[in-house]
Chains A and B, each alone.
Chain A
Amino acid sequence: MSDGAANTTQGSAPAGNEILAIRDLKTYFPVRRGVLSRVHAWVKAVDGVSFSVQRGKTLGLVGESGCGKTTVGRTILRLIPATAGQVNFDGQDVFALGRSELRALRRRMQIIFQDPFGSLNPRMTVGTIVGEALTVHGIARGRDRDRIVAELLERCGLSASYVRRYPHEFSGGQRQRIGIARALALSPDLIICDEPVSALDVSIQSQILNLLKDLQEEMGLSYLFIAHNLAVVEHFSHEVAVMYLGRIVEKAPAEEIYRNPKHPYTQALMSAIPAVDPSRRRSRVVLTGEVPSPLNPPPGCAFHPRCPLAVPACRRDVPALVRHEGCEALHTVACHRADEMRPGMLLEHVNKGIVAAEPA
């Protein structure tokens, strides 16, 4: 655990109680060109990410579309081959597993998807969708399987009488519950929730989040909760990691990151959370521009082209994810100016009309 990535792991909770530990994970996609399909360039979708998920706890992974958070989830499950790094699941090196060991591991790690429409096979009944994994792993057949499926449906807030119905007969929220029931079928320890509520109505979102929370308490599940919306993660996660362009820029326990966001990007995301009380409405920092292409990332800190607080060093050096002054334990930030950052500083800065530091 104390390998070359010492910087990035600094401040992590003691090992032993972590169910998932990721060290310096890299997933690059080759860009092939020409007749011979030679590798022309690499898209660094995930570029050196480290974090861990505590047993029975939730880690929220937040970032804009295209920052690599989905790729992180799928790489952990070995659905996408990793380029480098290490994934440890309950003491097992996931990337070193053979075929049958991987199959055994699949029972313990499951995934819930964002799109409730594309995630269920439209030609299968709900019973088959939920129970298929039970057959594949030889856990239950026939009556036994039907009983387990009925229990899973009930547990996810669906009627057991739905087993013979088809996905197209359900609403988005119900379909998401079917997806959750499918993930629970193998009684996993860890579930990777890949934006499970992003495609749902706000009222349904809270229902699904509550369901996931209840399941966590009942079954002691651990979640890696991927979202692009800090508000969704706020009440759900024990720890939050903010990703930008394939890297983690800030990581802290949930209360700490909401109370004391250090990274300008985190502050910008925070200011975008809608306030319930209109009198307390915050003014927002609207980030201009797009996330740069991971094919051609900017030098230095990847956020500097959009950062109102960037200084010359930001264009030159990649900041390390480390603990800074004024941070609680376990709070790490990858920003050159983290020491001087106060909550709301970005906002004040933008309101003063100071757009950015002079060009270097």
Chain B
Amino acid sequence: MTTTAPNPAILAAPVQQGRSLWGDAFRRLRRDPAAVACFLVIGAYVALAVGAVYWYPDFLETQNYSERNLPPSADHWFGTDVFGRDVLAKTLLGARVSMTVGFMANAIAVPLGLALGVLGGYFGKWIDDLVVWLYTTLASIPGIILLIALKYAFQGIILFEGTFIELNLSGIHGLYIALGVLSWIGTCRIIRAETLKLKSLDYVTAARASGQGRVRILVRHIVPNLLHLAIINFTLGFVGAISAEVILSFLGLGVEVGTPSWGTMINAARLDLVVGRWWEAVAACAAMFVIVLALNIFGDRLRDALDPKLRI
């Protein structure tokens, strides 16, 4: 075994394209039937949630008193509600609320947790103390109470009034913002711990030894090795956000009154159950059950596929 002088013939050999960890994870997911099935379910929910507004543009205005409280039938698969509206339409419109809240809450929470976790873990000292203080303080207050308090505080506040990006915090916007700024703790903890581990790894030491700056190491060596955790947290965080929306809407603190959502459906069906009108509650619960199950299984499979430890 000796070194050889550069051999032009070998240098000219075709470059072999390697498979990155991302590509590898994608391939594993594609070959995993459970992951594919769950992904299709999630995709279907998104498609239906997007489609629902176009199929039922004037849902709220439609009232049909001749068709009130009908049980499931060929015309109305999921039956009708107290105003004679189709429960299927209502469930699909509810999916829209859930998917929006789930996506937006995590779009706020995960980047926030990622940024704070990385900064605390990497730079240490007072920055870390601040981050740890922040999340331990937040975590010491029961989540649902904090959420309700924040949602109350948002009532009636309209951000950027009169502009293109006007946000009415009383409704769904306030809901996902409140959820987002409160649910980054889990992501932050995991990211901070992983950052602490990564920064002592040899490849980071090698980068320091070759004169790379702190910011470059952070961007090139630390963050790319954390992104998979952010993605997993995004998927699993969806479940929490969807449940929180349902609970808050059930309590009357979620979306604006009248907006169809699974929480408001379950709330409305509370009294119906006593007189045997089960279909509205069952439709909402079943819709939620399926998406939560699909997200959980998919998140789990995603975690397995993205774990770099399995590949080195």
Contact = CB atoms under 8 A, between A and B. Distances in A.
Contacts of B13: 159-161
B3 interface: yes
B203 A165 contact: no
A93 B38 CA distance: 61
Contacts of B17: 164-165
Given A106-B211, A210-B2, A125 B202 contact: no
Contact of B205 (A79, A132, A156): A79
Interface stretch (B18-26, B113-121, B156-164, B168-176): B18-26
B209 interface: yes
B202 A115 contact: yes
Interface in B181-209: 201-203, 205-209
Interface stretch (B4-12, B46-54, B65-73, B235-243): B4-12
Nearest to A207: B1
A111 interface: yes
B3 A136 contact: no
A113 interface: yes
A118 to B, nearest CB: 5
Given A117-B312, A161-B10, A165-B18, A77 B201 contact: no
Interface in A91-122: 102-103, 106-107, 109-111, 113-115, 117-122
B14 interface: yes
B20 A166 contact: yes
Contacts of B207: 132
A169 B205 contact: no
Contacts of A132: 207, 210, 212, 220
Given A166-B20, A211-B3, A136 B212 contact: yes
Contact of A113 (B10, B206, B216): B206
B129 to A, nearest CB: 10
Given A106-B211, A136-B212, A169-B18, A151 B312 contact: no
Given A154-B11, A161-B10, A113 B205 contact: yes
Contact of A154 (B7, B19, B220): B7
A29 interface: no
A119 B202 contact: yes
B224 interface: yes
B221 interface: yes
Interface in B230-282: none
B137 interface: no
A120 B203 contact: yes
A169 B20 CA distance: 9
B2 A133 contact: no
B10 to A, nearest CB: 6
A218 B210 CA distance: 22
B209 A106 contact: yes
A167 interface: yes
A266 to B, nearest CB: 29
Contacts of A136: 210-212, 216
A123 B312 contact: no
A185 B203 CA distance: 15
Given A110-B209, A122-B311, A132-B207, A166 B3 contact: no
B215 interface: no
A133 B210 contact: yes
B12 to A, nearest CB: 9
B15 A164 contact: yes
A159 B312 contact: no
A122 B10 contact: no
B225 A122 contact: yes
B16 interface: yes
B2 A164 contact: no
Residue from B2, B10, B206 with most neighbouring chain A CB atoms (10 Å): B206
A119 B206 contact: yes
A69 to B, nearest CB: 15
A122 B24 CA distance: 12
A164 B206 contact: no
A182 B205 CA distance: 13
A103 B20 contact: no
A119 B22 CA distance: 19
A155 interface: yes
B238 to A, nearest CB: 25
Contacts of A185: 210
A211 B3 CA distance: 7
A133 B211 contact: yes
Contacts of B221: 121
Contacts of A240: none
A86 B209 CA distance: 19
Contacts of B15: 161, 163-164
A258 interface: no
Interface string A296-326: 0000000000000000000000000000000
A166 B24 CA distance: 11
B225 A123 contact: yes
B308 interface: yes
Contacts of B205: 74, 79, 111, 113
Interface of B: 1-7, 10-11, 13-22, 24, 201-203, 205-212, 216, 220-221, 224-225, 308, 311-312
21 contacts: A103-B211, A111-B209, A115-B202, A118-B201, A119-B202, A120-B203, A132-B212, A133-B211, A136-B211, A136-B216, A150-B6, A154-B4, A157-B2, A160-B10, A162-B16, A164-B17, A168-B311, A185-B210, A186-B210, A207-B1, A214-B3
List 9 A-B pairs, minimum CB-CB distance, nearest first: A165-B18, A119-B202, A106-B211, A133-B210, A113-B202, A207-B1, A168-B311, A161-B13, A166-B18
Given A106-B209, A211-B1, 13 more contacts: A111-B209, A113-B205, A119-B201, A119-B203, A123-B21, A123-B224, A154-B5, A159-B10, A160-B13, A164-B18, A165-B17, A168-B21, A179-B206
